[in-house]
Structure 1
Amino acid sequence: MPLSALAAAALLSACQTAPVKTATPPTSPEVVGEFRKGTGYLNGYIDRKELPDSLALVPPPPAPGSARYSADLQQHQQTRALRNTPRWEYAFKDVNLKFPEAAGVFSCALDMPISQEATPHLNMLLRRSLVDAGFATYKAKDHYQRKRPFAELGETTCSPKEEAHLSKDGSYPSGHAALGWAWGLILAGVAPDKANALLQRGHAFGDSRMVCGVHWQSDLEAGRVVGAAAVARLQADPVFQAQAQLAKAEIASARAKGLKSDRQDCASEAAALKR
Protein backbone atom coordinates (compact mmCIF):
# COMPACT_ATOMS: atom_id res chain seq x y z
CA MET A 1 0.00 0.00 0.00
CA PRO A 2 1.45 3.44 -0.89
CA LEU A 3 2.82 5.43 2.03
CA SER A 4 0.61 8.38 1.10
CA ALA A 5 -2.49 6.23 1.54
CA LEU A 6 -1.26 4.85 4.87
CA ALA A 7 -0.52 8.33 6.11
CA ALA A 8 -3.99 9.49 5.13
CA ALA A 9 -5.56 6.61 7.05
CA ALA A 10 -3.53 7.43 10.14
CA LEU A 11 -4.40 11.11 9.92
CA LEU A 12 -8.10 10.38 9.62
CA SER A 13 -7.99 8.10 12.67
CA ALA A 14 -6.10 10.65 14.74
CA CYS A 15 -8.11 13.73 13.80
CA GLN A 16 -11.73 12.80 14.44
CA THR A 17 -13.64 15.95 15.28
CA ALA A 18 -16.39 16.56 17.81
CA PRO A 19 -20.02 16.36 16.65
CA VAL A 20 -21.20 19.45 14.81
CA LYS A 21 -24.54 20.98 15.76
CA THR A 22 -26.54 21.36 12.57
CA ALA A 23 -29.93 20.45 11.15
CA THR A 24 -30.47 16.72 10.66
CA PRO A 25 -29.03 15.84 7.24
CA PRO A 26 -31.57 14.49 4.76
CA THR A 27 -31.71 10.78 4.00
CA SER A 28 -34.23 11.06 1.17
CA PRO A 29 -32.74 10.85 -2.34
CA GLU A 30 -35.54 13.14 -3.53
CA VAL A 31 -34.51 15.83 -1.04
CA VAL A 32 -30.77 15.53 -1.77
CA GLY A 33 -31.39 15.49 -5.52
CA GLU A 34 -29.42 14.01 -8.42
CA PHE A 35 -26.39 15.85 -9.73
CA ARG A 36 -27.63 14.97 -13.22
CA LYS A 37 -31.26 13.99 -13.66
CA GLY A 38 -31.88 10.35 -14.48
CA THR A 39 -28.45 9.05 -13.46
CA GLY A 40 -29.33 7.91 -9.94
CA TYR A 41 -26.16 9.59 -8.64
CA LEU A 42 -26.93 12.08 -5.89
CA ASN A 43 -25.42 15.47 -5.23
CA GLY A 44 -22.26 15.32 -3.15
CA TYR A 45 -21.56 17.26 0.03
CA ILE A 46 -18.98 19.57 -1.55
CA ASP A 47 -19.37 22.10 -4.34
CA ARG A 48 -17.32 20.89 -7.30
CA LYS A 49 -15.29 24.11 -7.26
CA GLU A 50 -14.13 23.29 -3.73
CA LEU A 51 -13.02 19.70 -4.38
CA PRO A 52 -9.31 18.83 -4.13
CA ASP A 53 -7.25 19.72 -7.20
CA SER A 54 -6.14 16.31 -8.48
CA LEU A 55 -3.92 17.89 -11.13
CA ALA A 56 -1.90 19.53 -8.36
CA LEU A 57 -1.92 16.45 -6.11
CA VAL A 58 -0.64 13.68 -8.36
CA PRO A 59 2.41 13.51 -10.67
CA PRO A 60 1.99 12.89 -14.41
CA PRO A 61 1.28 9.26 -15.35
CA PRO A 62 4.29 7.08 -16.17
CA ALA A 63 5.85 7.84 -19.54
CA PRO A 64 6.18 4.95 -22.02
CA GLY A 65 9.57 3.35 -21.61
CA SER A 66 9.99 4.48 -18.01
CA ALA A 67 10.55 2.09 -15.10
CA ARG A 68 7.10 2.90 -13.69
CA TYR A 69 5.48 2.17 -17.05
CA SER A 70 7.29 -1.17 -17.22
CA ALA A 71 6.03 -1.94 -13.72
CA ASP A 72 2.49 -1.11 -14.84
CA LEU A 73 2.82 -3.50 -17.79
CA GLN A 74 4.23 -6.26 -15.60
CA GLN A 75 1.46 -5.89 -13.01
CA HIS A 76 -1.15 -5.86 -15.77
CA GLN A 77 0.17 -9.10 -17.22
CA GLN A 78 0.09 -10.74 -13.79
CA THR A 79 -3.58 -9.90 -13.36
CA ARG A 80 -4.45 -11.60 -16.67
CA ALA A 81 -4.03 -14.90 -14.84
CA LEU A 82 -7.10 -13.97 -12.76
CA ARG A 83 -9.49 -14.15 -15.70
CA ASN A 84 -12.46 -16.43 -15.08
CA THR A 85 -11.56 -16.92 -11.41
CA PRO A 86 -13.60 -15.87 -8.36
CA ARG A 87 -11.44 -12.72 -8.15
CA TRP A 88 -12.47 -11.83 -11.71
CA GLU A 89 -16.12 -12.28 -10.73
CA TYR A 90 -15.75 -9.85 -7.82
CA ALA A 91 -14.01 -7.38 -10.11
CA PHE A 92 -17.14 -7.47 -12.24
CA LYS A 93 -19.36 -6.99 -9.20
CA ASP A 94 -17.30 -3.97 -8.14
CA VAL A 95 -18.06 -2.26 -11.46
CA ASN A 96 -21.54 -1.33 -10.26
CA LEU A 97 -21.76 2.04 -8.49
CA LYS A 98 -25.56 2.23 -8.46
CA PHE A 99 -27.51 1.97 -5.24
CA PRO A 100 -28.94 -0.08 -3.58
CA GLU A 101 -26.48 -2.69 -4.94
CA ALA A 102 -23.37 -0.63 -4.20
CA ALA A 103 -24.39 -0.32 -0.54
CA GLY A 104 -23.55 -3.98 -0.07
CA VAL A 105 -19.87 -3.63 -1.03
CA PHE A 106 -18.80 -3.06 2.58
CA SER A 107 -21.51 -5.08 4.29
CA CYS A 108 -19.27 -8.10 4.91
CA ALA A 109 -16.34 -5.98 6.14
CA LEU A 110 -18.62 -4.00 8.45
CA ASP A 111 -20.47 -7.20 9.40
CA MET A 112 -23.92 -5.61 9.28
CA PRO A 113 -26.50 -4.65 6.67
CA ILE A 114 -26.23 -1.30 4.88
CA SER A 115 -29.33 0.00 3.16
CA GLN A 116 -31.69 2.94 2.80
CA GLU A 117 -34.16 1.15 5.04
CA ALA A 118 -31.89 -0.25 7.76
CA THR A 119 -29.21 2.48 7.98
CA PRO A 120 -30.41 5.58 6.08
CA HIS A 121 -27.65 7.91 7.30
CA LEU A 122 -24.87 5.40 6.65
CA ASN A 123 -26.34 4.70 3.24
CA MET A 124 -26.49 8.42 2.42
CA LEU A 125 -22.93 8.92 3.64
CA LEU A 126 -21.80 6.50 0.93
CA ARG A 127 -24.12 7.76 -1.79
CA ARG A 128 -23.14 11.41 -1.48
CA SER A 129 -19.40 10.90 -0.98
CA LEU A 130 -19.38 8.81 -4.17
CA VAL A 131 -19.75 11.97 -6.25
CA ASP A 132 -17.25 13.95 -4.19
CA ALA A 133 -14.46 11.36 -4.48
CA GLY A 134 -15.25 10.50 -8.09
CA PHE A 135 -15.42 14.06 -9.39
CA ALA A 136 -12.21 14.99 -7.58
CA THR A 137 -10.22 12.84 -10.04
CA TYR A 138 -11.43 14.58 -13.18
CA LYS A 139 -9.12 17.59 -13.35
CA ALA A 140 -6.13 15.28 -13.75
CA LYS A 141 -8.10 12.64 -15.67
CA ASP A 142 -9.25 15.12 -18.32
CA HIS A 143 -5.82 16.75 -18.52
CA TYR A 144 -3.78 13.59 -19.08
CA GLN A 145 -6.31 11.47 -21.02
CA ARG A 146 -4.24 8.36 -20.43
CA LYS A 147 -5.25 5.30 -22.44
CA ARG A 148 -6.64 2.42 -20.49
CA PRO A 149 -4.88 -0.98 -20.61
CA PHE A 150 -7.54 -2.76 -22.67
CA ALA A 151 -7.60 0.08 -25.22
CA GLU A 152 -3.82 0.32 -25.49
CA LEU A 153 -3.23 -3.43 -25.67
CA GLY A 154 -6.30 -4.46 -27.67
CA GLU A 155 -7.75 -6.69 -24.96
CA THR A 156 -11.16 -7.33 -23.44
CA THR A 157 -12.26 -6.60 -19.87
CA CYS A 158 -14.46 -8.14 -17.20
CA SER A 159 -17.19 -5.71 -18.26
CA PRO A 160 -17.47 -5.49 -22.07
CA LYS A 161 -20.46 -3.14 -21.87
CA GLU A 162 -18.22 -0.48 -20.29
CA GLU A 163 -15.54 -0.56 -22.94
CA ALA A 164 -16.98 1.87 -25.48
CA HIS A 165 -17.47 4.53 -22.81
CA LEU A 166 -14.21 3.90 -20.98
CA SER A 167 -12.13 4.04 -24.15
CA LYS A 168 -13.07 7.75 -24.31
CA ASP A 169 -12.53 8.40 -20.60
CA GLY A 170 -9.06 9.02 -19.16
CA SER A 171 -7.48 6.24 -17.11
CA TYR A 172 -5.39 8.34 -14.68
CA PRO A 173 -6.22 8.69 -11.82
CA SER A 174 -8.74 5.92 -11.20
CA GLY A 175 -12.16 7.13 -10.03
CA HIS A 176 -13.06 3.70 -8.63
CA ALA A 177 -9.82 3.57 -6.63
CA ALA A 178 -10.45 7.08 -5.30
CA LEU A 179 -13.97 6.10 -4.33
CA GLY A 180 -13.08 2.74 -2.80
CA TRP A 181 -10.36 4.28 -0.67
CA ALA A 182 -12.58 7.23 0.31
CA TRP A 183 -15.37 4.86 1.35
CA GLY A 184 -12.90 2.74 3.33
CA LEU A 185 -11.57 5.79 5.17
CA ILE A 186 -15.04 7.17 5.88
CA LEU A 187 -16.30 3.85 7.21
CA ALA A 188 -13.17 3.33 9.28
CA GLY A 189 -13.96 6.68 10.89
CA VAL A 190 -17.48 5.66 11.90
CA ALA A 191 -16.64 2.03 12.74
CA PRO A 192 -13.02 2.07 13.98
CA ASP A 193 -13.30 -1.44 15.42
CA LYS A 194 -13.63 -2.72 11.84
CA ALA A 195 -11.05 -0.35 10.32
CA ASN A 196 -8.65 -3.02 9.06
CA ALA A 197 -11.33 -5.00 7.24
CA LEU A 198 -12.96 -1.85 5.84
CA LEU A 199 -9.70 -0.41 4.53
CA GLN A 200 -8.75 -3.76 3.01
CA ARG A 201 -12.10 -3.90 1.21
CA GLY A 202 -11.68 -0.31 0.03
CA HIS A 203 -8.23 -1.18 -1.34
CA ALA A 204 -9.57 -4.30 -3.04
CA PHE A 205 -12.35 -2.24 -4.61
CA GLY A 206 -9.70 -0.23 -6.44
CA ASP A 207 -7.66 -3.33 -7.29
CA SER A 208 -10.75 -4.74 -8.98
CA ARG A 209 -10.31 -2.19 -11.76
CA MET A 210 -6.82 -3.49 -12.51
CA VAL A 211 -8.06 -7.08 -12.38
CA CYS A 212 -10.83 -6.07 -14.77
CA GLY A 213 -8.30 -4.64 -17.22
CA VAL A 214 -9.56 -1.05 -17.22
CA HIS A 215 -6.83 0.57 -15.10
CA TRP A 216 -3.08 0.47 -14.58
CA GLN A 217 -1.51 0.04 -11.13
CA SER A 218 -0.29 3.66 -11.12
CA ASP A 219 -3.86 4.81 -11.87
CA LEU A 220 -4.98 3.14 -8.65
CA GLU A 221 -2.17 4.63 -6.58
CA ALA A 222 -2.97 8.15 -7.81
CA GLY A 223 -6.69 7.56 -7.30
CA ARG A 224 -6.17 6.66 -3.65
CA VAL A 225 -4.26 9.89 -3.08
CA VAL A 226 -7.20 11.85 -4.51
CA GLY A 227 -9.71 9.80 -2.53
CA ALA A 228 -7.87 10.53 0.71
CA ALA A 229 -7.77 14.23 -0.17
CA ALA A 230 -11.53 14.23 -0.79
CA VAL A 231 -12.15 12.66 2.63
CA ALA A 232 -9.89 15.24 4.28
CA ARG A 233 -11.97 17.98 2.65
CA LEU A 234 -15.20 16.33 3.76
CA GLN A 235 -14.10 16.55 7.39
CA ALA A 236 -14.66 20.32 7.21
CA ASP A 237 -18.23 20.00 5.94
CA PRO A 238 -20.83 20.29 8.73
CA VAL A 239 -23.49 18.26 6.91
CA PHE A 240 -21.05 15.42 6.31
CA GLN A 241 -19.91 15.55 9.93
CA ALA A 242 -23.48 15.48 11.21
CA GLN A 243 -24.38 12.57 8.94
CA ALA A 244 -21.28 10.68 10.06
CA GLN A 245 -22.30 11.05 13.71
CA LEU A 246 -25.77 9.73 12.93
CA ALA A 247 -24.24 6.86 10.96
CA LYS A 248 -22.19 5.97 14.06
CA ALA A 249 -25.41 5.84 16.07
CA GLU A 250 -27.00 3.55 13.47
CA ILE A 251 -24.02 1.20 13.65
CA ALA A 252 -24.17 1.13 17.46
CA SER A 253 -27.90 0.39 17.31
CA ALA A 254 -27.43 -2.43 14.80
CA ARG A 255 -24.69 -3.95 16.95
CA ALA A 256 -26.88 -3.72 20.06
CA LYS A 257 -29.59 -5.63 18.21
CA GLY A 258 -27.10 -8.29 17.12
CA LEU A 259 -27.64 -7.58 13.42
CA LYS A 260 -25.17 -9.20 11.04
CA SER A 261 -24.48 -8.80 7.35
CA ASP A 262 -27.31 -10.13 5.21
CA ARG A 263 -24.87 -11.11 2.46
CA GLN A 264 -24.60 -14.85 1.87
CA ASP A 265 -21.19 -14.73 0.18
CA CYS A 266 -18.98 -13.17 2.87
CA ALA A 267 -16.73 -16.22 3.19
CA SER A 268 -16.28 -16.54 -0.57
CA GLU A 269 -15.65 -12.79 -0.86
CA ALA A 270 -12.92 -12.94 1.77
CA ALA A 271 -11.27 -15.89 0.01
CA ALA A 272 -11.48 -14.27 -3.44
CA LEU A 273 -10.13 -10.89 -2.31
CA LYS A 274 -7.31 -12.24 -0.14
CA ARG A 275 -4.06 -10.52 -1.14
Structure 2
Amino acid sequence: MMQRELPALAVSPEVQLAALAVGALVFATALAAGLLLHPAGLERRARALGAHADSPQTPRARGAQLLAWIDWAIARLSLVRATERRALARTLALAGFRAREAVSLYLATRLLAPLAGALLGLAAGPHTGLAPTAAALAGAGLGLAAPPLFLANRRQRRRQAIERGFPDALDLLVICVESGLSVDAAIARVAGELGRAHPVLAAELQLAAVELRFLPDRADAFANLEARTGIEGIRALVSMLHQTERFGTPLAQALRTLAAEARTAALLRVEERAARLPAVLTVPMIFFILPPLFIVLVGPVIAQLLSR
Protein backbone atom coordinates (compact mmCIF):
# COMPACT_ATOMS: atom_id res chain seq x y z
CA MET A 1 0.00 0.00 0.00
CA MET A 2 1.36 3.37 -0.97
CA GLN A 3 1.71 5.84 1.84
CA ARG A 4 -0.06 9.11 1.36
CA GLU A 5 2.23 12.13 1.67
CA LEU A 6 1.10 14.91 3.94
CA PRO A 7 0.96 18.37 2.41
CA ALA A 8 3.72 20.71 3.52
CA LEU A 9 2.69 23.40 5.94
CA ALA A 10 3.13 26.81 4.39
CA VAL A 11 4.61 29.30 6.81
CA SER A 12 4.72 32.95 5.88
CA PRO A 13 7.94 34.94 6.30
CA GLU A 14 6.27 37.12 8.97
CA VAL A 15 5.56 34.04 11.09
CA GLN A 16 9.14 32.81 10.69
CA LEU A 17 10.52 36.20 11.72
CA ALA A 18 8.18 36.29 14.72
CA ALA A 19 9.31 32.81 15.79
CA LEU A 20 12.97 33.83 15.49
CA ALA A 21 12.27 36.98 17.50
CA VAL A 22 10.54 34.99 20.23
CA GLY A 23 13.44 32.52 20.38
CA ALA A 24 15.94 35.36 20.61
CA LEU A 25 13.90 36.99 23.36
CA VAL A 26 13.78 33.79 25.40
CA PHE A 27 17.53 33.24 24.94
CA ALA A 28 18.32 36.82 25.94
CA THR A 29 16.09 36.56 29.01
CA ALA A 30 17.78 33.34 30.13
CA LEU A 31 21.23 34.83 29.51
CA ALA A 32 20.37 37.99 31.46
CA ALA A 33 19.06 35.94 34.36
CA GLY A 34 22.30 33.92 34.36
CA LEU A 35 24.46 37.03 34.27
CA LEU A 36 22.63 38.46 37.27
CA LEU A 37 24.03 35.65 39.37
CA HIS A 38 27.34 35.82 41.12
CA PRO A 39 29.85 33.27 39.78
CA ALA A 40 30.17 31.74 43.23
CA GLY A 41 26.40 31.40 43.32
CA LEU A 42 26.49 29.67 39.94
CA GLU A 43 29.07 27.17 41.16
CA ARG A 44 27.18 26.54 44.37
CA ARG A 45 23.93 26.04 42.45
CA ALA A 46 25.66 23.68 39.99
CA ARG A 47 27.06 21.59 42.87
CA ALA A 48 23.63 21.44 44.49
CA LEU A 49 22.01 20.35 41.23
CA GLY A 50 24.69 17.70 40.73
CA ALA A 51 24.22 16.39 44.25
CA HIS A 52 20.47 16.02 43.79
CA ALA A 53 20.55 14.79 40.19
CA ASP A 54 20.64 11.09 41.17
CA SER A 55 18.07 11.31 43.97
CA PRO A 56 14.46 10.54 42.94
CA GLN A 57 12.08 13.47 43.27
CA THR A 58 8.33 13.53 43.38
CA PRO A 59 6.33 15.84 41.07
CA ARG A 60 5.40 17.91 44.11
CA ALA A 61 9.07 18.43 44.99
CA ARG A 62 9.89 19.41 41.42
CA GLY A 63 6.95 21.84 41.42
CA ALA A 64 8.19 23.35 44.67
CA GLN A 65 11.67 23.78 43.18
CA LEU A 66 10.20 25.43 40.10
CA LEU A 67 8.18 27.86 42.24
CA ALA A 68 11.27 28.64 44.32
CA TRP A 69 13.29 29.33 41.16
CA ILE A 70 10.56 31.63 39.78
CA ASP A 71 10.42 33.47 43.11
CA TRP A 72 14.19 33.88 43.12
CA ALA A 73 14.31 35.09 39.50
CA ILE A 74 11.52 37.67 39.97
CA ALA A 75 13.17 38.92 43.17
CA ARG A 76 16.49 39.37 41.34
CA LEU A 77 14.84 41.28 38.49
CA SER A 78 13.28 43.79 40.95
CA LEU A 79 10.19 44.43 38.85
CA VAL A 80 8.20 46.10 41.65
CA ARG A 81 9.08 48.07 44.74
CA ALA A 82 8.58 46.77 48.25
CA THR A 83 5.42 48.81 48.87
CA GLU A 84 3.90 47.70 45.56
CA ARG A 85 4.81 44.09 46.34
CA ARG A 86 3.04 44.26 49.71
CA ALA A 87 -0.04 45.81 48.11
CA LEU A 88 -0.05 43.12 45.43
CA ALA A 89 0.32 40.45 48.10
CA ARG A 90 -2.77 41.83 49.89
CA THR A 91 -4.72 41.85 46.62
CA LEU A 92 -3.72 38.26 45.90
CA ALA A 93 -4.68 37.26 49.45
CA LEU A 94 -8.15 38.74 48.90
CA ALA A 95 -8.40 36.55 45.79
CA GLY A 96 -7.40 33.46 47.77
CA PHE A 97 -3.70 33.21 46.82
CA ARG A 98 -1.79 33.29 50.10
CA ALA A 99 1.33 31.31 49.17
CA ARG A 100 4.72 32.92 49.64
CA GLU A 101 5.49 32.63 45.93
CA ALA A 102 2.09 34.02 44.83
CA VAL A 103 3.42 37.51 44.01
CA SER A 104 6.36 36.20 42.01
CA LEU A 105 4.20 33.70 40.15
CA TYR A 106 1.67 36.41 39.29
CA LEU A 107 4.40 38.75 38.02
CA ALA A 108 5.90 35.94 35.95
CA THR A 109 2.46 35.23 34.50
CA ARG A 110 2.04 38.88 33.57
CA LEU A 111 5.44 38.80 31.84
CA LEU A 112 4.80 35.61 29.88
CA ALA A 113 1.11 36.09 29.08
CA PRO A 114 1.67 38.71 26.32
CA LEU A 115 4.29 36.48 24.71
CA ALA A 116 1.96 33.47 24.82
CA GLY A 117 -0.89 35.62 23.48
CA ALA A 118 1.28 36.83 20.60
CA LEU A 119 2.20 33.25 19.69
CA LEU A 120 -1.46 32.19 19.80
CA GLY A 121 -2.37 35.21 17.70
CA LEU A 122 0.22 34.24 15.09
CA ALA A 123 -1.09 30.67 15.07
CA ALA A 124 -4.71 31.81 14.73
CA GLY A 125 -3.94 34.59 12.24
CA PRO A 126 -4.42 32.51 9.04
CA HIS A 127 -7.77 31.23 10.31
CA THR A 128 -9.12 34.66 11.25
CA GLY A 129 -8.04 36.51 8.13
CA LEU A 130 -5.93 39.02 10.04
CA ALA A 131 -2.42 40.03 9.14
CA PRO A 132 0.29 38.32 11.25
CA THR A 133 1.32 41.60 12.85
CA ALA A 134 -2.25 42.55 13.76
CA ALA A 135 -2.97 39.05 15.07
CA ALA A 136 0.20 39.09 17.20
CA LEU A 137 -0.62 42.52 18.62
CA ALA A 138 -4.20 41.47 19.39
CA GLY A 139 -3.00 38.30 21.11
CA ALA A 140 -0.39 40.23 23.10
CA GLY A 141 -3.05 42.73 24.20
CA LEU A 142 -5.34 39.94 25.35
CA GLY A 143 -2.46 38.29 27.20
CA LEU A 144 -1.61 41.58 28.89
CA ALA A 145 -5.19 42.14 30.07
CA ALA A 146 -6.02 38.54 31.02
CA PRO A 147 -4.18 38.21 34.40
CA PRO A 148 -5.65 41.39 36.00
CA LEU A 149 -9.14 40.50 34.76
CA PHE A 150 -8.81 36.97 36.12
CA LEU A 151 -7.60 38.29 39.47
CA ALA A 152 -10.44 40.83 39.74
CA ASN A 153 -13.03 38.21 38.78
CA ARG A 154 -11.73 35.68 41.31
CA ARG A 155 -11.60 38.34 44.02
CA GLN A 156 -15.21 39.35 43.30
CA ARG A 157 -16.48 35.75 43.29
CA ARG A 158 -14.64 34.99 46.53
CA ARG A 159 -16.09 38.10 48.16
CA GLN A 160 -19.60 37.10 47.12
CA ALA A 161 -19.06 33.57 48.45
CA ILE A 162 -17.99 34.94 51.85
CA GLU A 163 -20.94 37.36 51.96
CA ARG A 164 -23.39 34.53 51.22
CA GLY A 165 -22.10 32.40 54.05
CA PHE A 166 -21.58 35.15 56.64
CA PRO A 167 -25.19 35.25 58.01
CA ASP A 168 -25.15 31.46 58.51
CA ALA A 169 -21.81 31.71 60.28
CA LEU A 170 -23.16 34.37 62.65
CA ASP A 171 -26.22 32.26 63.47
CA LEU A 172 -23.98 29.30 64.29
CA LEU A 173 -21.73 31.55 66.38
CA VAL A 174 -24.75 32.68 68.38
CA ILE A 175 -25.76 29.07 69.03
CA CYS A 176 -22.22 28.05 70.03
CA VAL A 177 -21.69 31.02 72.36
CA GLU A 178 -25.10 30.60 74.04
CA SER A 179 -24.31 26.92 74.61
CA GLY A 180 -21.23 27.90 76.65
CA LEU A 181 -18.33 27.68 74.20
CA SER A 182 -15.57 30.26 74.16
CA VAL A 183 -14.91 32.48 71.17
CA ASP A 184 -11.97 30.35 70.01
CA ALA A 185 -13.89 27.09 70.30
CA ALA A 186 -16.99 28.62 68.72
CA ILE A 187 -15.04 29.84 65.67
CA ALA A 188 -13.38 26.43 65.25
CA ARG A 189 -16.74 24.65 65.55
CA VAL A 190 -18.44 26.98 63.06
CA ALA A 191 -15.57 26.47 60.61
CA GLY A 192 -16.08 22.72 60.82
CA GLU A 193 -19.85 22.98 60.34
CA LEU A 194 -19.60 25.31 57.33
CA GLY A 195 -17.09 23.17 55.44
CA ARG A 196 -19.56 21.83 52.87
CA ALA A 197 -22.03 24.70 52.52
CA HIS A 198 -19.54 27.59 52.45
CA PRO A 199 -15.99 26.24 52.01
CA VAL A 200 -14.33 29.64 51.39
CA LEU A 201 -15.60 31.18 54.62
CA ALA A 202 -14.95 27.94 56.50
CA ALA A 203 -11.30 27.96 55.42
CA GLU A 204 -10.87 31.55 56.61
CA LEU A 205 -12.49 30.83 59.96
CA GLN A 206 -10.37 27.70 60.38
CA LEU A 207 -7.21 29.71 59.77
CA ALA A 208 -8.44 32.35 62.24
CA ALA A 209 -9.01 29.63 64.86
CA VAL A 210 -5.46 28.35 64.38
CA GLU A 211 -4.03 31.86 64.67
CA LEU A 212 -6.03 32.50 67.84
CA ARG A 213 -4.34 29.49 69.42
CA PHE A 214 -0.77 30.25 68.33
CA LEU A 215 -0.38 34.01 67.98
CA PRO A 216 0.65 35.84 71.15
CA ASP A 217 -1.82 38.69 70.52
CA ARG A 218 -5.44 37.81 69.72
CA ALA A 219 -5.91 41.18 68.02
CA ASP A 220 -3.45 40.12 65.32
CA ALA A 221 -5.54 37.05 64.50
CA PHE A 222 -8.70 39.13 64.16
CA ALA A 223 -6.85 41.76 62.08
CA ASN A 224 -5.55 39.04 59.76
CA LEU A 225 -9.06 37.66 59.33
CA GLU A 226 -10.35 41.12 58.42
CA ALA A 227 -7.48 41.71 55.96
CA ARG A 228 -7.94 38.32 54.24
CA THR A 229 -11.68 38.73 53.68
CA GLY A 230 -12.14 42.46 53.15
CA ILE A 231 -15.92 42.53 53.65
CA GLU A 232 -17.90 44.87 55.86
CA GLY A 233 -19.53 42.10 57.88
CA ILE A 234 -16.22 40.61 59.03
CA ARG A 235 -15.00 44.10 59.89
CA ALA A 236 -18.06 44.66 62.07
CA LEU A 237 -17.60 41.24 63.71
CA VAL A 238 -13.95 41.94 64.53
CA SER A 239 -14.82 45.36 65.96
CA MET A 240 -17.56 43.82 68.08
CA LEU A 241 -15.24 41.10 69.41
CA HIS A 242 -12.68 43.76 70.37
CA GLN A 243 -15.35 45.73 72.25
CA THR A 244 -16.66 42.70 74.11
CA GLU A 245 -13.16 41.70 75.22
CA ARG A 246 -12.25 45.26 76.23
CA PHE A 247 -15.47 46.42 77.94
CA GLY A 248 -17.02 43.09 78.97
CA THR A 249 -20.31 43.52 77.10
CA PRO A 250 -22.52 40.39 76.66
CA LEU A 251 -21.13 38.49 73.68
CA ALA A 252 -24.25 36.46 72.85
CA GLN A 253 -26.50 39.51 72.74
CA ALA A 254 -24.05 41.44 70.55
CA LEU A 255 -23.72 38.47 68.19
CA ARG A 256 -27.48 38.12 67.93
CA THR A 257 -27.83 41.81 67.03
CA LEU A 258 -25.06 41.52 64.44
CA ALA A 259 -26.65 38.37 62.98
CA ALA A 260 -29.99 40.19 62.55
CA GLU A 261 -28.21 43.06 60.82
CA ALA A 262 -26.38 40.64 58.52
CA ARG A 263 -29.66 38.94 57.57
CA THR A 264 -31.22 42.32 56.83
CA ALA A 265 -28.23 43.35 54.71
CA ALA A 266 -28.36 40.08 52.75
CA LEU A 267 -32.09 40.57 52.12
CA LEU A 268 -31.48 44.12 50.92
CA ARG A 269 -28.80 42.89 48.49
CA VAL A 270 -31.21 40.33 47.05
CA GLU A 271 -33.95 42.97 46.70
CA GLU A 272 -31.48 45.32 45.00
CA ARG A 273 -30.54 42.65 42.45
CA ALA A 274 -34.21 41.88 41.86
CA ALA A 275 -34.95 45.59 41.31
CA ARG A 276 -32.16 45.78 38.70
CA LEU A 277 -33.46 42.76 36.82
CA PRO A 278 -35.99 44.60 34.55
CA ALA A 279 -33.38 47.11 33.43
CA VAL A 280 -30.88 44.34 32.75
CA LEU A 281 -33.41 42.32 30.71
CA THR A 282 -34.44 45.28 28.54
CA VAL A 283 -31.62 44.99 26.00
CA PRO A 284 -31.85 41.17 25.56
CA MET A 285 -35.62 41.46 25.22
CA ILE A 286 -35.36 44.10 22.50
CA PHE A 287 -32.74 42.29 20.44
CA PHE A 288 -33.43 38.58 21.06
CA ILE A 289 -37.05 38.13 22.23
CA LEU A 290 -39.17 40.73 20.43
CA PRO A 291 -37.88 40.11 16.86
CA PRO A 292 -38.69 36.34 16.89
CA LEU A 293 -42.06 37.16 18.49
CA PHE A 294 -42.89 39.65 15.73
CA ILE A 295 -41.80 37.14 13.07
CA VAL A 296 -44.04 34.44 14.53
CA LEU A 297 -47.05 36.75 14.91
CA VAL A 298 -46.76 38.93 11.82
CA GLY A 299 -44.89 36.55 9.50
CA PRO A 300 -47.91 34.47 8.39
CA VAL A 301 -49.98 37.59 7.68
CA ILE A 302 -47.18 39.08 5.54
CA ALA A 303 -46.79 35.76 3.71
CA GLN A 304 -50.52 35.66 2.92
CA LEU A 305 -50.48 39.25 1.70
CA LEU A 306 -47.51 38.60 -0.57
CA SER A 307 -49.06 35.43 -2.00
CA ARG A 308 -52.12 37.32 -3.34
**TM-score of the superposed pair, with normalisation by structure 1:** 0.25
Which structure has the greater CA radius of gyration? 2
**Which protein has the bigger helix share?**
2
**TM-score of the superposed pair, with normalisation by structure 2:** 0.23
Answer 1 or 2: higher relative contact order, Cα 8 Å, separation at least 6: 1
